[in-house]
Each structure stands twice: as C-alpha cells, then as structure tokens.
Structure 1
Amino acid sequence: MQDEVSMPRTWQAWTWTGHADPLALALQTVAAAPLQSGQVLVRNTVIGLNPVDWKVLGGDLVDWQPGKVPGVDGTGEVVAIGSCVTHEWLGERVAYHTSLASPGSFAEYTPVDARALLTIPSAVDFDTAASVPCPALTAWLALDKLPPRREARILISGAGGAVGLYAVQLAAMQGFEVSVMCHPRHWDRLRALGARECFEGPLDADSEWPQTQASRFFAIVDAVDSTHAARLSPALAANGHLICIQGRVEGWPSPPFGRTMSLHEVALGAMHQHGSDADWTRLVDAGNRILKLIADGRLKSEPLLTASFDSLPKRLDALRHRSVSGKSVVAVSSFRHAVGL
C-alpha cells in the first residue's frame, strides 16, 4: 500500500541515451512505478548538479540501460509514501542524495528511500538545500574517518572545490588546524572560512613540496585524484591518515613499518549499496546538522547559479568543461509552471 497526496501516472525527466555527452540527454515522459517499501515520492523543486552526474554518463562506472534517469541530488516536497514509511513525511520539505542505481533526480518526481531524506529548515530555501547533499556529506564522511585530535594539522588538497568548501569549515569546527592546497584565487575565501595556511596546487610529479613538508600533517584529505594523493604522502606524520575522495591509492605509498599510515577511500554512493539503517541514521543526522548550521549562518554554502529545467543538459555540459564558477542548480518548479502543470 502507498499513501498519496498527489501520485501522478507520468512525468517529465531527462534520460540517458547511452552517450557520454550531457547534451545527448533526452527529455522524455516516463511512467510512474509503484513505490517500494521504505520509499517516498518527492515532487522535485530544485535539482543539484555534481561532477559525478557527468562522469557516469560514459557508462564505465554504472550498469545503465538507455532511458535511465540520472542525477543524485534534489529537493522538493514528499507527495506519496510507500509501506513502512510514517505519514509525518507527507508534505515535508526535503533534500536528498539518491543511488546511481535508482531513478535519479533529473525529473519532476523522484522515488527516494525515506532513510536518506534530509529535513530542510524553514530558513533555508530549496535552491541552497539542493546544493548541499553530495559535496557536504562527502566532506563529512572524509572527516569521519579521523579520530578526534584537537589542533592536529590537517591538509585539504583540492580545497577550492565544493567538497573542499565544506571540509575546510567542518574540520575547523572540529578543532583541527587546517591548511589548504588549491589555486591561489581561492585563498582569501578559504582563509575566511578557517584555513590557516595556503599552498598552491595541485602538484606536478617533479614537485619537492611533499619532502619540504615531511612528517608535518596528521591527515591529508585529497580531492584531486589517487596519483596526487600518493604524491602528497611524504608530508604525513607517523601514524597519519591519507583520505582519498577521487579514486584511491592502489599501492601503499610507504614501505612497511615506515610512516605506518592509514589509507581511506570515500564514496558517498557506497552508502546506498552497503550502508545499514544505523549508518544512514548517522549520515542523515550529520546532513541535518549541516543544514541547520547553514540556516544559522555558521556554515557557508556555495554561490548558486540557478538555471531552468529545460537547460539542464547545457548546464551539466558547462560543469564538465569547468566553464562556470559557482554551484549549478536547476529549478524544476519554473518548468512545471511554464508548461501549465
């Protein structure tokens, strides 16, 4: 059984056609499927675009068939619930990160596991909330790998991006002494958010910087790639932590009984496949606290670039080519109004 406020039979969605090019996405009418136990139906108001949304279109990272609806982040209102979901969710303003294996957020409506829903505070608008789940929860998961150690030095590499924005602020709130590595154009902004020291990066293969900083950092969070993460490893102190957000280091970067470092990988999508209900409770609690910090003005979100639903492929293509500065979000409600729905 499913309880409905407004359960449509069909809706509009951008679908994958089997091509890596975001501009090849097709706007189609898709049929509603019955909600599964534990799911809700969200009428999307705003969609958040993330790098993963274009990276998966090549097909190497996913097992998709043409017609699949991509997208992982969205916000909107719960309009229907499946079995084993409490009625209190109906009508709630929510944000979510959903599985790549499920129908995604590039649509007017998206089925979402209720355990993954974040509650949007009244002081936070849908646009801002849509920009939060993927980057902020990834940053939280990265820092959750670390044991608490106030005033320990931590380096965040690739800090100019969305994940870095949240990682810098959350690490500073946790009492770490935060250094960043990124393009100098980001330094003033990151200093204002809690970074004490800034280094230019990413590093090339010939850089001697890791050796000049040998044994300095308790932890390094790298959001560039696995090769860059390994390149930074000499800067770790004994028993330090190397946390990889983009890929993972395949070979151990130090000899046995050398730095005795710990290696970590971070992938928010893994939660959908392997996370328990208890894991999701912790993650959702973290997401709700992040949204509350934004509502209270204690945490800065990204500057927003809001586009129309019909321009979604163009905005995703611009994100792929890094030709935009800011967080791209897509307003579904304006499209619904334009077509008279």
Structure 2
Amino acid sequence: MQNLPKFMQAIALESANENFKLVEVELPVPTPADNELLVKVEYVGLNPVDAKLAKKGFPDWQYPHILGLDAVGTVVEAPVGASPGVGERIMWHADLSGQGVLSEYTTIANYAATAVANNIEPQDAATLPCAGLTAIFALDKMQIKQGDLFFVDGGAGAVGQYAIQLATKRGAIVYASASKKNHALLQKLGAEMVFDYKEKDFAKHIQQQIGQTQFDAVLDTIGGENTARNIEMMRFCGRIACLNGLPPLDNNMLFRKAPNISIVALGGAWLTKSLCAQQCMSMCGKSLIEEVQQGELQTLEVIPVDFNASAITQALHDQLAFKQVGKRVVKVS
C-alpha cells in the first residue's frame, strides 16, 4: 500500500427504494486478499441491473453499499507472479454480493480479470463486460450456428447490440426488434431486418414481412409478456435465452412448442462461488477484447457521466427509462 492514499471517494446507496438517491462517501482504500489485485478504477460502465438493484437491494448488502459491476482500471498492487500484474489495465464484471466498483480503488480476483489492450480506449472497454459477456453466454447456451434464424427481442439494448454482431459472425441470419429510430443502427451491426416493437400484432407483422415466424432461437432481453410471444414465434424445440427470468407460462403452449429454455445471469458465477465460471468470464472477456482489436466487434456508443452522486443517480434512473441508446460510462479517474 506504499505511496497509496489511506482513504478514497466512493458513490454509495444508503438504502434501496424506488426513488433511490446515491451519496458520496469517504472510505478506507480496500486491502486485497492473497489472490486479489488492487485496482485504481478509471471507468465504470453502468447497467440496467445497477438501477434495478438500487431500487430493490440485495440480501447480502450492508449499507452504505457501493454500486457498480463493470469497471476498467489499472493494477496498482498484485501478488508476486500474478497475471495481470502491476501497471496493466484490466476490465471485469464484479461480484454483485460484494461492494461495487464506483470508487477510486477496488479489488478483484486476478483470475476473473481480463487485460485490456493498449490500443483500445478504456471507456470503450468499460462497455464490454456485462453486455458482451451476457451476449456470449446466451449465444453459447443457444448454440447459435451457421444458418440459424435468430431473433433478438430488444436489439437496441447493450446486450442486443453485441448479440447481433456476435451471432452474425457465427453465420446466423439475425432479426431484431427496436424502435424505428434505431433500425438503421441495428442493420449496420448486421441485422437482416428490424421490426418496430410497437406493432400491435407483432407476430403477424413479422409473418407479413418475412413469410414466417419460425425462429430457431430467440434472445429474450425484455421478459414479461414478451416471453410467451417469443416462444410462440419459435419452431418446435427451438431455443430461447431469457435475461429476466421467466413469467408464468401456459403449459399447453410449452407442451406444444417444447422449447429449450435457458436463463442467463452472470451473477451466478459469483453467488455459487464457481471459480470455473469466474475464469470463464475472464476468457470470454479476452475474446471480446481480441474481436474489438481486430475490428470485428463495434463497441457501444459511450454516454459520459461525471463521478458524482447526483449525476450517477440521474444516469441510473435514465437507464431504466431507456432514454438513450448506448452505454453510460462514469469517468472515475
């Protein structure tokens, strides 16, 4: 800890509620455990899950709780022989049951971190962990392959944008839903066709546009009532990956469609204490970094957010309202 401050600034949640407001707090700089890196945080990517957790809280949290799960920063202290090492820039998706990353310093297990190439802007890297890893895990669970008819419900969201690009690279024929103003963006990312999510009879609209609604796989980023509709649009024994759990589903529909249903949640890697899953996130993060380096993956538009409580509070509320397409990224240092 030599030459490092004893205290740091952080953005914390005093209590979880619908009208949450974050506060600025001063806390001791954390001491890393034997297998942990101490990181000076540079950028934090905000996610819808951050705002949802600010509203509902989490059973393991103690307050004030530091929010934030996605970060990019530089290692300032590391175990001897650890990789990544001191001076390296890294990115990671943090354990939601512990303290978050909206602070000047934090710790992360070295095996869960991914080195960020020098030619990638750190604020761009901050858009990758949650959204990019979720997209990869979803595509892997659905075994997306060459020629699959693949539908992304909510394509303009962060996960949707990465999923469209990654699925197109795998050879899938990708369709998506989004508001009309985002259709051109998603087609540029690789979507064959984009449908207006506001259409009253959505499935019928798709049927009229492409002649069928028998998708091999669906990425269900919205959930709720959309899940049953999405299953109806799948072929028999089709695959669906759900990001927001499952609503009550009609048993007759499930029997008729026999869908292969997957739930995608990065938090489980930490909550189940699965070292294998945490290492997998690091390896998948490396894959994302390499694809960005090679120009095969376009990162999300960065919406800058100041490192103060009021700005981040507003950004999280805006995130839930889906006011802008892109990733809100906080510049910490």
Please indicate, yes or no, whether the TM-score normalized by the shorter chain is above 0.5: yes
Are residue 105 (structure 1) and residue 93 (structure 2) matched? no
Pairing partner for 1:59 from 56, 60, 72? 56
Quick one: distance in 2 between partners of 1:314 and 1:61?
21
Taking structure 1 as reference, are residues 260 and 52 closer, same or farther at Cα in structure 2, changes over 3 Å only?
same
**1:152-179, Cα deviation, whole Å (9 max, x unpaired):** 1010100011110000000001111111
- Whether the aligned pair in 2 keeps the contact of 1:12 and 1:27 (CA below 8 Å) is yes
Percent identity over paired residues: 26
Deviates more, 1:131-140 or 1:86-95: 86-95
Q: Which amino acid aligns with 1:53?
A: D
Taking structure 1 as reference, are residues 211 and 161 closer, same or farther at Cα in structure 2, changes over 3 Å only?
closer
Are residue 191 (structure 1) and residue 184 (structure 2) matched? no
SS of the counterpart of 1:35?
coil
Taking structure 1 as reference, are residues 37 and 254 closer, same or farther at Cα in structure 2, changes over 3 Å only?
farther
Taking structure 1 as reference, are residues 19 and 283 closer, same or farther at Cα in structure 2, changes over 3 Å only?
closer
1:20-31 matches, within 5 Å, as 20=17, 24-31=21-28
What is the aligned-residue RMSD (CA, Å)? 2.4
SS of the counterpart of 2:17?
coil
**1:268-321, Cα deviation, whole Å (9 max, x unpaired):** 111112263333333322211112211222211111122321232332233233
Segments of structure 1 that go 5 or more residues without pairing to the other structure are 334-341
Quick one: distance in 2 between partners of 1:66 and 1:225?
30
1:75-94 matches, within 5 Å, as 75-81=72-78, 86=82, 88-94=84-90
Deviation of residue 105 (structure 1)? 0.9
- Whether the aligned pair in 2 keeps the contact of 1:41 and 1:78 (CA below 8 Å) is yes
Q: 1:209 is matched with which residue?
A: 204
- Whether the aligned pair in 2 keeps the contact of 1:145 and 1:264 (CA below 8 Å) is yes
Taking structure 1 as reference, are residues 191 and 247 closer, same or farther at Cα in structure 2, changes over 3 Å only?
same
Pairing partner for 1:70 from 49, 67, 72? 67
Deviation of residue 64 (structure 1)? 2.1
Deviation of residue 322 (structure 1)? 3.1
Q: 1:182 is matched with which residue?
A: 178
Quick one: distance in 2 between partners of 1:211 and 1:167?
20
Quick one: distance in 2 between partners of 1:101 and 1:197?
39
- Whether the aligned pair in 2 keeps the contact of 1:158 and 1:202 (CA below 8 Å) is no
Q: Which amino acid aligns with 1:295?
A: Q
TM-score, length basis structure 2: 0.90
Quick one: distance in 1 between partners of 2:225 and 2:178?
16
Q: Which amino acid aligns with 2:313?
A: P
Deviation of residue 257 (structure 1)? 4.8
Are residue 330 (structure 1) and residue 330 (structure 2) matched? yes
Q: Which amino acid aligns with 2:229?
A: R
Taking structure 1 as reference, are residues 117 and 253 closer, same or farther at Cα in structure 2, changes over 3 Å only?
farther
- The count of aligned residue pairs is 328
Deviates more, 1:137-146 or 1:291-300: 291-300
Q: 2:257 is matched with which residue?
A: 259
Quick one: distance in 2 between partners of 1:188 and 1:64?
41
Work out which structure has the larger RCO, using CA pairs closer than 8 Å and 6 or more positions apart in sequence: 2
- Whether the aligned pair in 1 keeps the contact of 2:29 and 2:106 (CA below 8 Å) is no
Taking structure 1 as reference, are residues 78 and 182 closer, same or farther at Cα in structure 2, changes over 3 Å only?
same
Q: 1:117 is matched with which residue?
A: 113
TM-score, length basis structure 1: 0.88
Taking structure 1 as reference, are residues 125 and 254 closer, same or farther at Cα in structure 2, changes over 3 Å only?
farther
Quick one: distance in 2 between partners of 1:82 and 1:177?
46
Q: 1:319 is matched with which residue?
A: 319
- Whether the aligned pair in 2 keeps the contact of 1:44 and 1:109 (CA below 8 Å) is yes
Q: 1:166 is matched with which residue?
A: 162
- Whether the aligned pair in 2 keeps the contact of 1:214 and 1:236 (CA below 8 Å) is no
Are residue 302 (structure 1) and residue 297 (structure 2) matched? no
SS of the counterpart of 1:305?
strand
Quick one: distance in 1 between partners of 2:148 and 2:325?
32
Taking structure 1 as reference, are residues 6 and 151 closer, same or farther at Cα in structure 2, changes over 3 Å only?
farther
- Whether the aligned pair in 1 keeps the contact of 2:156 and 2:325 (CA below 8 Å) is no
